[in-house]
Amino acid sequence: MTIVKSRFFILILLFFSHFELYSNSLEKNIQELEKEIKEYINHHVLDSHDFNLLSYTKEDGTKFYLGIPLPVILWDDGLAIFSSSKFKHGKSVVKSGENFYKLYHGKIYKTDSSGKIYYDNNKNVINTSPIDFSITKGVVSIIFVSIIMFFLFRNLANSYKKNKMMAKGIGRFFEPIVLYIRDEIAIPNIGEKHYKRYMSFLLTLFFFIWICNMVGLTPLGINVTGNIAVTFCLALLTFIITTVSGTKYYWKHIFWMPGMPLPMKIIMAPIELLGVIIKPFTLMIRLYANIMAGHIVMMTLISMIFIFRNWIGSSLSFMLAFFIAIIEILVALLQAYIFTILSALYFGFAVEEEHDH
């Protein structure tokens, strides 16, 4: 009886020891998987120096990448041009002239032949960075969308000339959108007198944001409007046009509001002036935050398929990701509409005349 109890006790110890080892191994694998997923999401939503189409680990443990390298253009006491493939996804150091460069978390740093990255006490990289003029994934995407828009509007204009102001082909799909922007966005917000001055910008703004958002839903990992530098430039253009277009009546309402008591004018003037800056700032943040959040949510749901690894969890994750993707198609159009209509509203404020009331 004592022997049986001893064996039973040994079996229990072996069970718990194996369970603990299994749990530790499982926890370690999950942590490694979470780290890999986080890096993959960051690579998708952030700009990069190449188009990475897919990657997988070979049987010998080496990782294989399939993608399209892009040219790296640096200014560091002279011009340095080479292919991003030389970085080997951050694993190699590139020598150009007398300098060494390393790609680290999507940014190029100047280093030595060993490729060492140095940190300060707050774990911030202290290596110097050269001036980067590289043609990145975002730049290629912007050029691609610009070419699409050029041929789109060119063909639409030619169809009007050839067919007595009647659109044909793909122009029949885009003509109602152009008319909607004119009749429902530009004219009501800017007015019959001034809207034609801003139609080119409003059409460019709407179609650029819309097409960039739609291209961002493809598996190529393009996230142009989720880049705050791009949304900043779009908002800056709206701000410049609004400021330049401002009439005396517009500036009078900002600095010295008519019909208000003097103390209120003194209080409201800095608030109104601050609002001039806040308006384009909200345009920038709204577009950036919505597109970036949509990409992160969708990629997170897709990654959960590889975390669950079972029919129930993976299927639910796939269904949720598919549902979010459908919503993102609507968001892509909605964000283009909101940015355009608010820009038209700001232009309308700027050119409003006193007799318009």
Answer yes or no: do 150 and 189 share one domain.
Answer: yes
Residue 203 lies in a domain: yes
Residue 196 lies in a domain: yes
Answer yes or no: do 128 and 162 share one domain.
Answer: no
Answer yes or no: do 122 and 171 share one domain.
Answer: no
Query: How much is the average pLDDT of 76-93?
Result: 84
Query: How much is the average pLDDT of 337-343?
Result: 94
Residue 54 lies in a domain: yes
Which of 132, 154, 176 is a domain's end point?
132
- The 3-class secondary structure across the chain, one letter per residue, is CHHHHHHHHHHHHHHHHHHHHHHHHHHHHHHHHHHHHHHHHHHHHCCCCEEEEEEEECCCCCEEEEEEECEEEEECCCEEEEEHHHHCCCCCEEEECCEEEEEECCEEEEECCCCCCCECCCCCECCCCCEECCCCHHHHHHHHHHHHHHHHHHHHHHHHHHCCCCCCCCHHHHHHHHHHHHHHHHHHHHCCCCHHHCHHHHHHHHHHHHHHHHHCCCCCCCCCCCCHHHHHHHHHHHHHHHHHHCCHHHHHHHHCCCCCCHHHHHHHHHHHHHHHHHHHHHHHHHHHHHHHHHHHHHHHHHHHHHHHCCHHHHHHHHHHHHHHHHHHHHHHHHHHHHHHHHHHHHHHHHHCCHHHC
pLDDT band, very low/low/confident/very high, at 338 (cuts 50, 70, 90): very high
Answer yes or no: do 125 and 193 share one domain.
Answer: no
Answer yes or no: do 128 and 181 share one domain.
Answer: no
Residue 300 lies in a domain: yes
How many angstroms from the chain centroid is the CA of residue 182? 28
Given this model, what pLDDT does residue 208 score?
Answer: 94
Phi, psi (rounded to 5 degrees) for 94: -105, 130
Given this model, what pLDDT does residue 340 score?
Answer: 94
Answer yes or no: do 246 and 307 share one domain.
Answer: yes
Given this model, what pLDDT does residue 211 score?
Answer: 92
Residue 138 lies in a domain: no
pLDDT digits 0-9 by tens, 222-271: 888 988 999 999 999 999 998 898 877 777 777 777 766 677 667 777 77
**How many domains would you assign to the chain?**
2
Residue 42 lies in a domain: yes
Residue 137 lies in a domain: no
Answer yes or no: do 128 and 153 share one domain.
Answer: no
Answer yes or no: do 215 and 342 share one domain.
Answer: yes
Answer yes or no: do 52 and 82 share one domain.
Answer: yes
Answer yes or no: do 245 and 189 share one domain.
Answer: yes
Answer yes or no: do 60 and 154 share one domain.
Answer: no
Answer yes or no: do 88 and 164 share one domain.
Answer: no
Residue 24 lies in a domain: no
Give the domain range for residue 82. Answer: 38-132
Which of 132, 156, 186 is a domain's end point?
132
Tell whether the model's pLDDT for residue 22 goes beyond 50: no
Residues 288 and 280 sit within 8 Å (Cβ to Cβ): no
Which of 99, 132, 165 is a domain's end point?
132
